[in-house]
Structure formats: C-alpha cells, structure tokens
Chain A
Amino acid sequence: MRLEKCWFCSSTIYPGHGIQFVRNDAKIFRFCRSKCHKNFKMKRNPRKVKWTKAYRCLHGKDMTQDSTFEFERKRNRPERYDRNVTAQTLKAIPLITKIRHERHKKHITERQKQGKTKQRERDAKELEQDIQMLPKKDTMLSTQKTKVVVKVSQQQTEENLMEE
C-alpha cells in the first residue's frame, strides 16, 4: 500500500480514494477526485490551471528547491528491512516535515514582501491626499486628541468660518 500523487493536482491519494486510468501504452494516470479526472478528460494542462501544484510551482508560488525535498524520494530498488534504520527514519520524518513547513512559510513571506511595501506606500499616500474628505473634527480628534480637550469650542467655529 502506498500513498500516490494525483496526476493533475499532485495531491496525496490515500488508499481507497480516487480513480486511475491506464492508457493503452501502459502509462498510469491517477486522480484524487472526479474534479481532477474531469479536467484530465477535458485535456486541460495542469500547468495552466491555477489551483494545481504544477501551476503554483511553475509560477513561483510554492517552494520548489530545498534540501528537505531530497529526503523523500521513491526507491525502485527493494531494501532489506533494518530495525534501527527504520526507527531512525520514523523519528526523522516529523522533524523534516516541520522544517519544511517553516521554510515554506518563510518562502511565502519573502514572496509577499514586495507587495506589502507597495501597499503601505499606497496607503500613506491616500491618507495624505484624501484626509479632507472626512469632517474636520473627526480627523482632528484622531490626530490632535490631547490638544482638543483643552481648547474652547468657539475657536473651532472660527476656524471653520475661515476655511469657507
């Protein structure tokens, strides 16, 4: 029993799930669910469909190169069982997974950094330009809170008049 990867979206297929298609040249196509199967039948290219792993990797959304990926690799040669090695492996797997998740998180934050700075700049500019759209007292309240409490209300009206 093995966990397989979906041909279309590269998600993990647990035993008893999904469907599998064997072409007449003996190539096997596994699908995690009918959605992927239908997309395959529609001859869609997974690299061009946004929600697939292939698309995300191709467009730099996901981390593609990392040393943690080198641990997991399908072995076509059978290995003789060794209790010690297996025990070590079982201990190592959660560790590797954790590290990979960390790195993935990092990758995403790195990726989003540029957009975030831009957004911040845009916000600052908008705030500066469109502040007068709001009633003056609101903006005053927020910016010069401490000052306003002490001052007399007459002064405010005067200011308003002046503006007009």
Chain B
Amino acid sequence: MVQYNFKRITVVPPGKDFIDIILSRTQRQTPTVVHKGYSISRIRQFYMRKVKYTQSNFYEKLSTVIDDFPRLDDIHPFYGDLLHVLYNKDHYKLALGQINTARNIIAKIAKDYLRLLKYGDSLYRCKCLKVAALGRMCTVIKRISPSLAYLEQIRQHMARLPSIDPNTRTLLICGYPNVGKSSFMNKITRADVDVQPYAFTTKSLFVGHADYKYLRYQVIDTPGILDRPFEDRNIIEMCSITALAHLRAAVLFFLDISGSCGYSIAQQAALFHSIKSLFMNKPLVIVCNKTDLQPLENLSEEDMKLVMEMKAEAMKTLGHGGEANEEGVLLTMSTLTEEGVMAVKNAACERLLDQRVEIKMKSKKINDCLNRFHVAMPKPRDNKERPACIPQAVLDARASAAAAKEKKKLERKLEKDLENENGGAGVYSASLKKHYLLADDEWKEDILPEILDGHNVADFLDPDILQRCEELEREEGLRLEEEAAQEAFQIDGHELTEEQREILGQIRKKKALLIQEHRMKKRTAESRPIVPRKFDKDRTFTTNRMGRQLSSMGFDPSAAMDRACSRSRGRKRERSLSRAASDGDDMDIDGQQSSKKLRALSRSRSRSKSRPSEEVVPGEGFKDSAQKKKAIKKAKDSVRNRNKEARRGEADRVIPTLKPKHLFSGKRSIGKTSRR
C-alpha cells in the first residue's frame, strides 16, 4: 500500500542558494591548483572536470526535486484532486516542467563546452571557457528561481497536510457550517479540533482516530459546505467535496434541527439533495444534532417531512433497495449533553464494517481469507466412558490411614482437653516441663540455680566433676605441704625489729622535714639577694634558736652561740692591747662567764684598713669626695627598692638565649636562618 507522506520531500533551495551550493561544492570537491607550465592536456582535463562535475551536481539536485514531488496522475485520486484544489494542478505541473527543462538545458550546455574545451590551447582560454559554461548554467537556474520558490512553498504546505489513508476504514463528517461537526469529532476522538461559534472555523481536513470493536477507524472532519453551484464554491468547501467524492467511507451528514446554525432545515435538505450524488455506494447516516435545543419529535410537519425524505434517500444510497434496516440511518444526538454520541459512532462504524465485509465477500480475494480460518471441534470416538483409574491397593491404603488417624485421635489426650478440664483458656497454663526427656521422670520438676557465687553453674557442669575435684584437692594438699617445707627452710634474718622500725620512722620524718624546709628556703629566701627583715618576720634565724636546736640534738650550744655573738662587730673599731693579750686564753674562761658579759668583751678580728670608698681616685671623673659620696648614695638609692623586692636589675648576670627557637626550627618560607 502506498503511504502518502509528504513530509519526506527534501527542501527546495531558492535560486540564489541553489547556485551557491553547487558552485561551492565544485570548488571543494575538484582540484584547485593548476599552473601555466603544466602540459596542455592536463590543463584541459582540469577544467573539463570542473564543468562536468558542476553539471552532474545540477542534474542530481534537480532530479531529486522532480522525483520527490508527487505526480498528480499517479497518486490516489483523492490526493490528486485535493492537491489540485489547493495548489492548482496547472501551476504545479508547469513548475515541475520548468525544472525538467532547466535540467536538460544544463546538460546541453555542459556538452557544448566540453567539446570546446577539447580545443582550448592555453590555460587562459580553458579558464575562460569554464567560466562561461558555469555562468550560463547559473543563468538558467536564476531564470527558474520563481518556480523553485513556488515549489518550496508547496512543499511546506504539503508537509502540514493530515496523513489521510484513503483505503482504510473511514468516517466522514459533513454538513452545513456550524452544525457541530468538529464538536462531534472532539467527542469521539482525541483530536483537538478548534470549535468556535462561527461559520468556517474548520478550514481544512482534520483527522482523528477512534476505536470500535478493536478496530481503528479514521475520522475525518471536513469544513462546512454551502448549498451553491459547484463552480462558485471556494477552496475550503472544495476540500470537503473532494473528500466526499473520493474516499470510500461512511458518511455522517449532520443536520442542525434546532436551526441555531443560521440555516433552516429546508436549506440543509436542499444541500443534501444537491450533493447526494456523492453519497452513492457509501453507508450514509443522517445525524440530527442539537437535540438539547429542540427534540426531533417537536419538529413541525413540513420539517418532519423533509427529514423523512432525506432518510428515504439515505436508505437508497447503498444500492440494494430497502434491504438496509432503518435504525442505523437516522439518529439523534446532542454533542453538548453527549446524548447519543456513542450511538451515532457505533451505528456508523457498524454500517461501514458491514459494507466492507460485503464487498470483500464478493471479491475474488475471499478464498485467500477463508483458508486462513480453522476452528477445531473434536468429536467423541465412541460411546465408551473413560474415567481416571485408581488402583485398589491405593484406595485401601488411604482408607486405613484415615482410620488409624481417627483412632489415634480418640486415644490420646490432647492439650486442648487438658485445658478444658482445668478451667479453660486463660486459666490453664500448659507446662512445658512435662515433655522433657530425662533419665528419671522425677527430675522434671527440679528447680536449680543458674548462678552461684558469681559464676554460671552451667559452665561447671561435667559428668566426672567429682573425680576431678578430688584430684584438685590432692594437688592442693601437695602444694600446701611443699610450701610449709619451704617456709621452714627460709631464714629471714634481715627483718628489722620493732624498735629499729620506730627509729627509722623518726629518721624519715626528720628527713622529710628537712627537705620541706629546704624547699621552702629555696623558694623564698635563697633566691633573694638580701633578706630584709620583713621576710624574716618569725625570726627563724636567731642565735637562741640555734642553741635550742643544738641542745635538742644533744650538743652543748654555748660555744657556738658565743662565737656567733662575737662575730657581730661593736660600734667602734679599735685596736687594744689588752684584747690582743687576752685572746690566747679565751677557751679557758668559756663556760664560767655569762654570755652577756662575753658579748660586751667580744671584739672582731683586726682588719687591714682599706681605701675609703668616697676617696677620689684620678680618672673617675669626680670633682671631690663630696661629689663622689653623693653619687654613690644615689646609685645605692636607685637599686634599693628593686633589691628589696628581689627584682632583677641591670647588675644581675644574664645568660641570653643562645639558640632562639624561632631561628632554628621550621621551614624557611620567608627569610633566612639568621634573620627572620
């Protein structure tokens, strides 16, 4: 079957583009380099090739145009007429004819110039010949450019035509404008046709598809037709007429019985009669639409008569007299309320199907179809019964098994019975223990601990535990004996006695105290340059105290105390003979004299006299000793406070950081090792 698909037609370029395409292709696909020095045959060949190539390209391109466009005589008459109506057959043929002529002219030009090129005697002349040839070809194309433009327009329009298959099952909807054809179409198919309340909303054919009895039906919506002579009809109406004339379809003639479309029933009947020749040999259904506005029964006498007349005509269309039944011919519906819409569709489809089947039955092809069907109906071979066979042994076995089961059920006391005896559901609780499998039935009710002294009893369970226990005890006994023997041998001579331990405790206590004191000293007094009185508030470092300490340790402190006292110098420094004389027997008097007296007598050892600090030494820069004194005093004053608070001064020793961390670690992203 021929598929009518006009979407595949290749694009027809306008004249100018056509030329550009061909020439640029020539430029790209043929050699471009030629020199004067080449042999003349080579030069000739170069240009001949160009001309020939251009011509063949033109030929090819034009041929595709001619082949792609359908020939109106070859396609289905429906399409032929439709295209004629839409595009004017004469114009169409003329355009294609022009293209065909152009193709031939170009071929001729190429032939002429190739012949001339054969006699070209220089590169220049050959080139001129080539230019002339191509120029003439282009001129030809330029001349047919209006035709090309026309064909391009047609192509675009054709691509948008609905793809109607003229041979398939088709429902054709026709009638006056504005009678509800498109509304019906929208109701029964999924096509979304524009519906508006004015005439000629539909300007061309529209196609939708509907299903009936699992078959697909093509539904064609046509523009409205007016009742006027054939010649006066416009293109839009002619589309419908073409469709009516050429498609083998069920025709639905729509009548608006309410007259709201602007045409009376009489006018519509007139149209029906004028185009009834188009309905011949087609199932025709007259559809009375818009029953929601006016039911069929309420029509006036005359109108009713007209409708009945049309019905009578419609019955005749199939050509077999009155054999068609009446019910499928005149139908009423309302697309607004959807009342009777499906009935109309079904009736139309049914009638179409009947007609098509009838035609097929009459045709020669019926034999091909019939041998495809086969319905198998198995017949009984004879009157004998053939039931399923079960051996007697099996039946017996089944019976005995059932009996045994029954018997067992009677014998055994079930848990259910127990429950009923002991107070029923909710009261009775089944004991799981009675199903235990133990050596002695008495054991079933035993209660036993799971945990004992922080151990799992189950972890110790062992059939021969008694034996193992005995073994362990024996082992333990042996061990104890051994231990006892060892202890007897061991001589522990190093043990300290009670007293020794006490003394050791005291020693340790003393040591701890010393350490503590030392630490305190280290923390406070020792780190300070001098110990001002205010830090030695509790007078820890006194002579008396030393004496007490010494005596507590069992020494006689008097000598030490005396010596300490004698160290302190008197106010006056003098050198006396008597003192020097008595120095020798100092030891003898010790112990007899009182300490106070001794202190009064005591004197320091003589010292060599040194230079007084305030004496001016040349080179120090002082004017006189008064000035130096002042300066010394000032210097002392300046550090006094700092020293009192044990702060660090400029005279203190400073050890600088020898290797500063920041200079000796890390990567050197910025700076150097020495300077960062």
CB-CB under 8 A from A160, the residues of chain B are 554-556
**Given A86-B461, A126-B504, A127-B500, CB of A3 within 8 Å of CB of B455:** yes
Please state if A67 and B510 are interface contacts (CB–CB under 8 Å). Answer: no
Contact with B along A92-123 (1 / 0, CB 8 A): 11111101001100100000000001001101
CB distance from B588 to the nearest CB of A (A): 15
Please state if A67 and B472 are interface contacts (CB–CB under 8 Å). Answer: yes
Please state if A134 and B510 are interface contacts (CB–CB under 8 Å). Answer: yes
Please state if B439 and A73 are interface contacts (CB–CB under 8 Å). Answer: no
Q: How far is the CA of A117 from the CA of B491 in the complex (A)?
A: 12
Asked if A22 is at the interface of the complex by the 8 Å CB criterion, the answer is no
Q: Give the total number of A-B pairs whose CB atoms are below 8 A apart.
A: 143
**Given A2-B450, A81-B443, A88-B466, CB of A163 within 8 Å of CB of B555:** yes
Please state if B510 and A85 are interface contacts (CB–CB under 8 Å). Answer: no
Contact with A along B550-593 (1 / 0, CB 8 A): 00111110010000000000000000000000000000000000
**Given A81-B443, A81-B446, CB of A88 within 8 Å of CB of B507:** no
Asked if A161 is at the interface of the complex by the 8 Å CB criterion, the answer is yes
CB-CB under 8 A from B500, the residues of chain A are 127, 142
CB-CB under 8 A from A126, the residues of chain B are 504, 507-508
Nearest residue, chain B, Cβ from A136: B554
Asked if A20 is at the interface of the complex by the 8 Å CB criterion, the answer is no
Nearest residue, chain A, Cβ from B440: A83
Please state if A124 and B494 are interface contacts (CB–CB under 8 Å). Answer: yes
CB-CB under 8 A from B449, the residues of chain A are 90
Q: How far is the CA of A130 from the CA of B452 in the complex (A)?
A: 56
Asked if A137 is at the interface of the complex by the 8 Å CB criterion, the answer is yes
CB-CB under 8 A from B461, the residues of chain A are 75, 79, 85-86, 89
CB distance from A125 to the nearest CB of B (A): 11
Asked if B456 is at the interface of the complex by the 8 Å CB criterion, the answer is yes
Asked if B465 is at the interface of the complex by the 8 Å CB criterion, the answer is yes
| 9 pairs from A and B in contact (CB 8 Å cutoff) | A3-B454, A83-B446, A89-B462, A120-B494, A123-B496, A124-B494, A127-B500, A127-B507, A164-B556
Asked if B460 is at the interface of the complex by the 8 Å CB criterion, the answer is yes
Asked if B506 is at the interface of the complex by the 8 Å CB criterion, the answer is yes
Nearest residue, chain B, Cβ from A1: B450
Asked if A151 is at the interface of the complex by the 8 Å CB criterion, the answer is no
CB-CB under 8 A from A136, the residues of chain B are 553-554
Interface residues on B, range: 35 or more
CB-CB under 8 A from A83, the residues of chain B are 440, 442-443, 446
CB distance from B10 to the nearest CB of A (A): 66
CB-CB under 8 A from B507, the residues of chain A are 126-127, 130-131, 133-134
Q: How far is the CA of A12 from the CA of B437 in the complex (A)?
A: 33
Nearest residue, chain B, Cβ from A161: B556
Question: Which one, B463, B495, B496, B501, contacts A85 given CB within 8 A?
Answer: B463
Contact with A along B488-531 (1 / 0, CB 8 A): 00000011100111111011101100000000000000000000
Nearest residue, chain B, Cβ from A72: B459
CB-CB under 8 A from B460, the residues of chain A are 71-72, 89, 92-93, 96
CB-CB under 8 A from B469, the residues of chain A are 88, 92, 95-96
Please state if A133 and B511 are interface contacts (CB–CB under 8 Å). Answer: yes
Question: Which one, A67, A88, A117, A131, contacts B475 given CB within 8 A?
Answer: A67
Q: How far is the CA of A96 from the CA of B34 in the complex (A)?
A: 117
Asked if B393 is at the interface of the complex by the 8 Å CB criterion, the answer is no
CB-CB under 8 A from A102, the residues of chain B are 476
In residues 158-215 of chain B, which contact A (Cβ within 8 Å)?
A: none
CB distance from B639 to the nearest CB of A (A): 41
Asked if B650 is at the interface of the complex by the 8 Å CB criterion, the answer is no
Asked if B302 is at the interface of the complex by the 8 Å CB criterion, the answer is no
Contact with A along B140-169 (1 / 0, CB 8 A): 000000000000000000000000000000
Asked if A138 is at the interface of the complex by the 8 Å CB criterion, the answer is yes
CB-CB under 8 A from A89, the residues of chain B are 457, 460-462, 465
Asked if B458 is at the interface of the complex by the 8 Å CB criterion, the answer is yes
Nearest residue, chain A, Cβ from B501: A123
Extra inter-chain contacts (20) besides given A1-B451, A89-B460, A142-B500, CB under 8 Å: A2-B450, A74-B459, A82-B463, A88-B469, A90-B448, A90-B452, A97-B453, A117-B494, A120-B496, A121-B494, A127-B504, A130-B507, A131-B503, A133-B511, A134-B507, A138-B506, A139-B503, A142-B499, A143-B499, A163-B555
**Given A92-B466, A124-B496, A137-B554, CB of A142 within 8 Å of CB of B453:** no
Nearest residue, chain B, Cβ from A160: B554
Please state if A127 and B503 are interface contacts (CB–CB under 8 Å). Answer: yes
Asked if B473 is at the interface of the complex by the 8 Å CB criterion, the answer is yes
Asked if A147 is at the interface of the complex by the 8 Å CB criterion, the answer is no
CB-CB under 8 A from A123, the residues of chain B are 496, 501, 504
CB distance from B512 to the nearest CB of A (A): 11
Asked if B438 is at the interface of the complex by the 8 Å CB criterion, the answer is yes
CB-CB under 8 A from A99, the residues of chain B are 472-473, 476
**Given A83-B446, A134-B506, CB of A90 within 8 Å of CB of B457:** yes
CB-CB under 8 A from A157, the residues of chain B are 556
The 10 closest A-B pairs by CB, nearest first: A136-B554, A142-B499, A120-B494, A92-B469, A72-B459, A135-B554, A83-B443, A130-B507, A89-B460, A135-B553
